[in-house]
Amino acid sequence: MKKFITTIMACMLLALMALPVMAQEETRTADSYLMYDIWGHWAEDELDDLVNADIIKGYQDADGDYYLNPGGKITRAQFAAITVRALGLEATGEGKVFSDISAHGLKNEIQIASDHGIARGREDGTYNPNAPITRDQLATMIVRAFNDTIEFTGTAKEFTDVSSDYWAALEITEASRVGVIRGDEKNHFRPREQASRAHAAVMIHRALQLEQSNTPSDADLTSFVLNSETESFPLFASSDTNGLLAHNAKYYTGYQKASADEMVEWFFEDSTTQEMAFTNEPTLTVLSKSNRYAKVELDGELSLSYTDSSTNFSTVMPYTSTYYVKNVDGEWKVYYTDIPFELDDLE
């Protein structure tokens, strides 16, 4: 798993790797997105994506490291919170008020999930927020949450352990039609089994990619990504720290914003001057898109110039990056970038 600081900033950082520069003081903000216990996990890609996008949050241990505990159980309250974050839902005041959540740390998220008909609780008026959520409950909440934005059509999978009269049979069937749930190699769904954090993350991630009721145009996505880069160029050239922080707030969120904000002061610690530009018009391609999330690839060539009290260099390098973007309150923002290149590109 690769973690890069920001797109253009990362290129400049790697271009400087061989130069004697002042070390950056590491802060918790960006580190809190680095979950060491998901690397190599079967659900690493989905977990990492949701962490970067501020949908799933981890824990900090006594040593200051962050972890996600992907195999651990997830509670009914935690899944309600993840769903609310994933969909960007807000309170409407129209939901059922549960009698056992008033002192809970996630009471607001649970109430929002109730307002939107996702969390319905029990007949006695309670939600049982700290109970581990089961796989059938997970499937049911996902179908409720995405009912308006996903067409649950297709061939249903018939699980041998889910009878037609099972209380969640309809929702399990619907979720299986679009591949949100897939079962195991023996065609079992194990509906009463407690779900892990990884299973919950994967199901939510699959559902988010399936929302196709109101997708953005390719032109809107590609112009946004290109602007997120080119508008930073004059700010670097003028060493405009405040301008770059405002740029980050406009274009970034999640891991991308946290890491970009931390890098701003580092780049101007030694009275540096920096100039960058694309040498030609980059090619931008939308790799995937849904209502709220998209991936866009930029392929071009970047010219970099850097000067400080002891260094002066210029280079031209191939530049390809994949931008992971999400819709936040009606605005697209980059939450992660992946820049696959070799150090030979900097020679």
Q: How far is CA 111 from the centre of its chain?
A: 23
> What does pTM read for this prediction?
0.87
Q: For 209-236, write each residue's pLDDT tens digit.
A: 999 999 999 999 999 999 999 999 999 8
Residues 105 and 206 in one domain: yes
Q: Convert the pLDDT of each residue in 38-69 to its tens digit.
A: 999 999 999 999 999 999 988 888 888 899 99
Query: Do 199 and 266 have their domain in common?
Result: no
Task: Convert the pLDDT of each residue in 179-189 to its tens digit.
Answer: 999 988 899 99
The SS3 assignment for 179 reads coil
Same domain, 171 and 152: yes
DSSP 204: H
Q: Which residues, in sequence order, are bridge partners of residue 324?
A: 295, 336
CB atoms within 10 A of CB 179: 13
Same domain for 160 and 89?
A: yes
pLDDT at 313: 83
The count of domains in the chain is 2
**Final residue of a domain: which of 210, 234, 250?**
210
Residue 220 and residue 202 share a domain: no
CA-CA distance, 6 to 12, in Å (whole number)?
A: 10
Full domain range(s) for residue 176: 74-210
Nearest to 178 by CA among 141, 144, 138, 211: 211
pLDDT tens for each residue of 78-99: 999 999 999 999 999 999 999 9
Q: Which of 164, 192, 210 is the last residue of a domain?
A: 210
Tell me if 40 is assigned to some domain: no
**206 and 219 part of one domain:** no
Residue 33 domain flag: no
- Residue 297 included in any domain: yes
Task: Mention every residue, 6+ apart, whose C-beta is less than 8 A from residue 347.
Answer: none
The whole-angstrom distance between residue 145's C-alpha and the CA centroid of its chain comes to 18
In a domain, 206, yes or no: yes
10 Å Cβ neighbour count for 115?
Answer: 19
Residue-averaged pLDDT of the chain: 88
Whether 97 contacts 124, CB under 8 Å = no
Q: Which one of 210, 238, 268 terminates a domain?
A: 210
CATH number, domain with residue 238: 3.10.450.50
Residues 238 and 184 both lie in one domain? no
Q: Are 79 and 203 in a shared domain?
A: yes
Q: How far apart are CA 75 and CA 64, in angstroms?
A: 24
269, part of any domain: yes
